[in-house]
A and B are shown apart, each in its own frame.
Chain A
Amino acid sequence: MNIVVPIKQVPDLVEELEIDGSGKDLNREWLKNKVNEFDDHALEEAILFKEANGGTVTAIALDSDDIDKALFAAAAKGADKVVKVTGDFGGSVSSHTAAKALADAIQSLGFDIVMTGVQAVDDRDGQIAGLLAGHLGAANVNVVTGVDKDGDGLVIHKEYSGGVVAEFEASTPIVLGIQAAKETPRYVPVAKIRKASRGLTVDEIAASGTADAGSEVSRMFKPEGGEGAEMIGDDAEAAASKIMEILNSKGIK
């Protein structure tokens, strides 16, 4: 089976996020990006599927800063082919725009299964898997924690709340939003990525049709969740003493 895995980069939330001058987007100048962790799981599940059942894995991404490195890493992990969709994808790209561009490219590549991350931290206008499925005219299952072959079809595990899992059987083509791969996503050292990049061709497909979110960001602001914690500092010894005091006062320890 041909598995296509759309991946994308998202801001690394370990870094502090700042709002830009427009008040509608992140200040992207110093933003550190990383591959969406759920996309990593999708790629892992796709590679595990290929290792067990044969087939090919194609990693695909919209052209953006550093995306080549992410695609090289996908190749180093076991993707057979890497593809970049070229077009104007700078800054913040809506899920609807991304899905249309990716769907057209995936359609031209041909596919049996699309596996992508179930969600990303920035998909304001919806998760990509469902949008892709809509454009590709394929069925769509999300929050998937396992995909296996069963005869000519697939067995899919989808997670509900409370850890309950629903098992479905499905035929292809299908688009899956992966929550977690069966195994921890494999790690590849930089040396191996560099090696994989040598002689590797990133295929390019120009984006054809366009679509937009149909909604506009009017403002971005930092949330005020609750009342906020009473902060007890960054010194481990002092904080530990204070925590003991709090627990004692509450009769917990």
Chain B
Amino acid sequence: MSNIYVIVEHFKGQVEDITFEMMGKAKELGDVTAVLIGAKDLAGELGAASKVICVDDANLSEFNPEGYCKTVDAVVAAGSPDMVMVGNTSMGMDIAAGLSVSQNMPLVAYATDVSSGSVVSQLYGGKMNVESSVSGPCVVSVLAGSFPADAGKGDGSPAVEDMAAPDLSGLSVKFRKLIEPEGGDVDITSQEILVSAGRGIQNEDNLPMVEELAGKLGGAVSCSRPIVDNKWLGKTRQVGKSGLKVKPKLYLALGISGAPEHIEGMKDAELIIACNTDPNAPIFEYAHYGCTADLFDLIPALNAKM
């Protein structure tokens, strides 16, 4: 039976869902060892694993990209698992690729499905899936939301094994502090109606018509990542992986192609209407209604009808 290590992701004293998602899948494939760094007190939540390896050190009390990387490397080197599952997340990205090089293990990223010897990755902004065959031990970085979290929650009492941290005295990266997002003008997670702008909006000057539409609908404007990266809207408006998860009654997606990172944040909206001129945009797989009209005709037409 294969021996699978799941690197536990936790933040502010909570085990993140990605961990349970990976553990559920890992349980289908083999024997699960959870690798818990810097938070031994959370071991009790990992009942779906058959073993928990805990590593604690003063340098690991907060996530540290370099410290966690070195620690995972040491744990994997000592245990020789058949597969290491890491979240394809902000924290996991600091771990997976480095581990692949240091342990000379293949890495398959953006995984949405994993079976013995084969991994499916979601690539090209969600437009293509690619199946990879891997023989021998490998690292898989898993996209959040790929597997149900419930399957990875269990009330078992796995053996807890403490392992000493590797030498972390000379770390070149040190944690300073967390900066919370500024209290936004609008909390998009509590809005019932969101009119969401994406790259298709083309430039900042086109935002006022989106705002007008949101106003007429009694909702707020949200957006996908490129809009925030270009500083057209603030971070508090961003829906998706590095933004916020929303569940409004209506999500009107304007010029959003539907990259996996975005879908993760809005797929549970009650009603999704998407407009994008590309009929193959992945957003249409998730939307209830889709239209391929030109945004700059559609938005004024909607504004006129409200």
Residues of A within 8 A of B (CB): 11, 13-14, 16-17, 19, 26, 37, 41, 95-96, 99, 118-119, 121-131, 133-135, 139-143, 155-172, 174, 177, 179-181, 183-184, 213-226, 228-237, 239-244, 246-247, 250, 252-253
Contact = CB atoms under 8 A, between A and B. Distances in A.
Interface stretch (B43-51, B148-156, B275-283): B275-283
Nearest to A220: B130
Given A126-B107, A159-B90, A163-B181, A233 B293 contact: yes
Contacts of B132: 124-125, 215-218
Nearest to B250: A252
A139 B128 CA distance: 32
Contacts of B285: 223-226, 228-229
Contact of A17 (B124, B217, B236): B124
B19 to A, nearest CB: 13
A233 B228 CA distance: 29
B97 A134 contact: yes
B288 interface: yes
Instruction: Classify the secondary structure of B's interface with A.
Output: mixed
Contacts of A124: 108-110, 121, 123, 130, 132
Contact of A13 (B127, B217, B298): B127
B149 to A, nearest CB: 15
B102 interface: yes
Nearest to A17: B127
A118 B225 CA distance: 13
Q: Report the 10 A-B pairs with minimum CB-CB distance, sorted nearest first.
A: A130-B97, A134-B101, A225-B285, A214-B106, A236-B297, A229-B290, A163-B181, A240-B301, A229-B287, A180-B229
Given A229-B287, A231-B291, A236-B298, A214 B138 contact: yes
A218 B241 CA distance: 28
Contact of B172 (A125, A174, A234, A236): A174
13 contacts: A37-B226, A95-B97, A125-B108, A143-B242, A160-B91, A168-B175, A170-B172, A218-B118, A219-B131, A225-B126, A228-B284, A231-B279, A231-B289
Nearest to A228: B285
Contacts, number: 299
Contact of A165 (B96, B109, B127, B179): B179
Interface residues of B, number: 103
A232 B289 contact: yes
Contacts of A123: 109
B301 A237 contact: yes
Contact of B90 (A19, A143, A236, A237): A143
B40 interface: no
Contacts of A130: 93-98, 100-101
Contacts of B176: 155, 166-169
B289 A140 contact: no
Nearest to B282: A225
B289 A243 contact: yes
B22 to A, nearest CB: 16
